[in-house]
Amino acid sequence: MRPIVWDSRKCHVGEGPVATGTAHTKMHWVDILNNKVLWRDLLSDESGEIPTAENISFVLPRTDGGLILGTSHGPDSLDRLGAITRLPGRPEADGSPDPVPMRWNDAKVGPGGEIWMGTKATAETDRVGLHRISADGSEITRVLSGMKLSNGMDWSPDTKTFYLIDTVALALYAFDYDDGEISNQRLALTFDAGAQQYPDGMTVDGAGCLWIAFWNGACIRRYSPDFQLLETLEFPVRFVSSCAFAGPDLKTLVITTAVGDDGWHDEHESAGMTFIVETDVTGKASYVFGK
């Protein structure tokens, strides 16, 4: 398996690839700091962009064909005609505005159609954690607090386990998942602080293996369901940020990268571009927001 550049548009911070459509061929991802959603179809090769008014950390599919946009003060619901409706956000969940500047970070739709959203702050605060929006979009709940940088997440194929990365803590957590609720938090995996390679976005394949992208690690590592390292995919760029399976057979891994952030910078000519890898495993289809 060898990564190749699939989309040469350079993202300052590319993140959150997600496959949409019945054939899982239309990819969406975000360029967080350049305030836009990018999309491209694996088969037709059509592509485009959706500008946003502020930093955008994630894009997620809706059951009616629209999108959920993870803008800093959102999230926002974008319908197929381009109309935007704000969904409940952090102030509604927490009962007060953010104590320091914050934005959403990685997010995914859960098995029940609900949205799970992590956060990132510009200064230390116990508000960094995880929020959940109900599948009908009417209610937001804070689920976790006290994290350092809430990041990659996904579910086991049987949906009984939820995984969540805290990048700065160099930790992968596992939780029991049942009907939109998580419980029994445990530390599943820790990463070497001396390597200065930080777990970022992730996806889980159909066999329950975890594919984790490493910021400043120039790689994606695949771990077994019992967290043993199985293989490493190496990249020519340093900041590999996230990945998702796509295509009619869900065997194409789409990977976002970044030029840099927070003082990090990659001079490589392909930094910030989006890569693909044709794998010999089958991924899982993305869940879709809504009832």
pLDDT in tens, 140-199: 999 999 999 999 999 999 999 999 999 999 999 999 999 999 999 999 999 999 999 999
* pLDDT score recorded for residue 81: 84
* pLDDT score recorded for residue 183: 98
Local confidence band at 80 (pLDDT 50, 70, 90 cut-offs)? confident
* pLDDT score recorded for residue 263: 84
Overall average pLDDT of the 259-276 stretch: 93
pLDDT surpasses 80 at 291: no
Q: Which domains does the chain have, with CATH numbers?
A: 4-278 (2.120.10.30)
Out of 63-67, 75-79, 131-135, 197-201, which region has the weakest mean confidence (pLDDT)?
63-67
pLDDT surpasses 90 at 82: no
Local confidence band at 264 (pLDDT 50, 70, 90 cut-offs)? confident
pTM recorded for the entire structure:
0.97
Overall average pLDDT of the 283-287 stretch: 96
Mean confidence (pLDDT) of the chain: 96
229-254 confidence digits (pLDDT tens): 999 999 999 999 999 999 999 999 99
* pLDDT score recorded for residue 262: 80
Overall average pLDDT of the 104-117 stretch: 98
* pLDDT score recorded for residue 97: 94
* pLDDT score recorded for residue 188: 98
* pLDDT score recorded for residue 43: 95
User: Which residue, chain included where needed, has tokens 């044709």?
Assistant: 278
Overall average pLDDT of the 8-25 stretch: 96
* pLDDT score recorded for residue 38: 98
40-51 confidence digits (pLDDT tens): 999 999 999 999
